Structure 1
Amino acid sequence: MRGLSRASLAEVEERFNAVAGSADLGTLADELFAVADLFDREHGLRRSLSDAARPAEQKAQTLRILLEGKVSTAALETAISAVSVKWARSGDLADALERLGVVAASAEAEAQGKLDDVEDELFRFGRIVAGNLDLHRTLADPAAPAQAKRELLTTLLGGKAAPSTLRLVTQLVVHPRGRSLDGGLEQFGSLVAAQRQRLVAVVRSAVAFSEEQKQRLAAWLRTSYGRDVHLNVEVDPRVIGGFSVRIGDDLIDSTVAGRIEEVRRRLAG
């Protein structure tokens, strides 16, 4: 989001924080996702409610007529706050509401003591889908009915993953909003990690890390970055030896494969 939208998001987040405390967080997440999806489908409505020239109270009244009695007070108040501020582009309105839906789902997981589980499960689900071409094709097929995708995800994750994980994955699969599934899982994973202001590190290694090794690496990264770091460890035989760590745009590569590639680049140059 650009400067204007970032400032507006901060304002809406403040209102969200004020009303979310007494809400059922899982329900709130679902409702915010539903409102974001409504704005994605109804382009005219989205443009009208994000029009900076329209009075905020007029837009709020329109939203009350549409949503009152259909969503919780917390969801309605959050949505009213979102249409009452200015956005750099109309799509940022839906983006903001989806983002707050992810925050609500993350808060639900934290309240249940399952925030770490959700981070791990989002990452593992991404790896499973990446390794199963048929599953990836089915979940990414825009022609596949939404209900069929929901039922498939419930079969795959219901009772096996945290409720928040199923909620987030379902939103990504049923409403990709122009994202790849991999990209969406990474985006949501970062937002979940931000619930405790942690960074997410993707670690690639030829062999699995022991719990002690994970703790040592997490402690070193915490010292280096000044923030807690959640590790997603991916075993990849192509690494050959050593390991690499990617945090955002930063890459720490101590793999044998990485050193070989560096030598190749130097020789080519």
Structure 2
Amino acid sequence: MSHFRGASVDAVATLTDELGTSVSGSSERAATVGDELFSVAATLRGEGALRRFVTDGSIPAEARTGIVGEVFGSRAGEETLGLLRSAASRRWTSSGDLPDALEHLGVVAVVTSAGNDAGRLADELFALAQAVKDNPSLRDALSDPARSVDDKRALVDDLLRGKSLGATAALAKQSLAGTYRTVGVALAEYQKVAAEVHGQGVATVRVARELSAADRERLTEVLSRQYGRPVHLNLVVDPSVIGGVKVEIGDDVIDGTVSARLDDARRRIAG
């Protein structure tokens, strides 16, 4: 969630540091905190009066942190409550930034719970996003307003059971919360967070056929060197590119595909 502005940027940065300290060294604790933060974010989105009270800078910080303890004390552990009290004591540019920030922190916590499997988590999130994109019946089932969220989560459980990390399943189910425009957009954002937590960039690479392990490693090294930090590859096999490689990383697009050169040639001839 990159829309934070003003005071909210500072609040999110501080809370992210506090989260890292509170869940350091425990995957189980990180997963629990992530789940609790998702729950609190959902509550604050649905309870406008509570959200506005907690983010009202004209109300003493002691009162704001106190109400957080009263409302969530029985529903969250000490690590999560500590983060909530800290969040309630800070300034926010808008009241809606608070639940958005808590959801973001929840994603960071779940990503942290994956530990050394961060690369696998990123791959699984991307694969799931592609499956949703390429399977109309699955996409419709997950976006159907007539189906309950619990029903959709059960569908995700069936889809991922025994095939993915617990962190992947947790984020897949959170993608159904409706915070983002679509499930696919949510999963893409979660993958970006997963990469950022581990100091990486994400590059989507389109090729006509699968790359060999050596070619993947070589491309990863080239992009990492070019962008000055490790890069995680999302590989998409797309026969329409004919040959060559198209790389999308951030706002940059490097199109070295045969199809792009053919399109360019057609434009030159037509012109």
Distance 1:143 1:45, change over 3 A: farther
- Tell me how many residue pairs correspond in the alignment: 266
TM-score w.r.t. the length of structure 2 is: 0.94
- 1:68 maps to which residue? 73
Q: Structure 1 pair 212/139, CA: closer, same or farther in 2 (3 Å)? A: same
Please report how far the alpha carbon of residue 124 of structure 1 lies from its aligned counterpart in structure 2 after TM superposition: 0.5
1:150 aligns with 2:153: yes
Aligned to 1:179: 181
Question: What secondary structure is seen at the aligned counterpart in 2 of 1:29?
Answer: helix
- Name the SS of the counterpart of 2:114 in structure 1: helix
TM-fit CA distance, 1:251: 0.5
Return the alpha-carbon distance in structure 2 between the equivalents of residues 204 and 180 of structure 1.
22
For 1:24-73, what per-residue CA distance to the aligned partner results, in whole angstroms no more than 9, with x for missing partners? Answer: 11111100111111111112211221112111111100000001122111
| 1:19-168 aligned within 5 A | 19-21=22-24, 24-110=29-115, 113-168=116-171
- State the TM-score, normalizing by the size of structure 1: 0.94
Q: 1:51 to 1:205 in 2, by over 3 A?
A: same
Secondary structure of the residue aligned to 1:39 is: helix
Pick the aligned partner of 1:209 from 199, 208, 211.
211
Distance 2:269 2:50 in 1: 57
- Kindly state the Cα deviation for residue 142 of structure 1 after the two structures are TM-superposed: 2.4
Shift of 1:178: 3.7
Distance change (3 Å), C-alpha of 1:194 and 1:178: closer
Alignment-mate amino acid for residue 247 of structure 1: I
SS of equivalent to 1:63: helix
Task: Output the amino acid matched with 1:11.
Answer: T
Give 3-state SS (helix, strand or coil) of 1:114's partner: helix
Say whether 1:191 aligns with 2:193: yes
Q: Distance in 2 between matches of 1:261 and 1:42?
A: 53
Provide the C-alpha distance between the structure 2 equivalents of 1:266 and 1:85, rounded to a whole number of angstroms: 57
Percent identical residues:
38
**Cα separation, 2, equivalents of 1:47 and 1:164:** 31
2:165 alignment partner AA: A
Deviation at 1:15, TM superposition (A): 2.2
Shift of 1:148: 0.8
Q: In the aligned structure 1, how far is the partner of 2:267 from the partner of 2:56?
A: 51
Deviation at 1:146, TM superposition (A): 1.4
**Deviation, structure 1 residue 260:** 2.7
Pairwise CA RMSD:
1.5
Distance verdict in 2 for CA 1:11–1:236, change over 3 Å: same
Mapped contact 2:19–2:109 kept (Cα < 8 A)? no
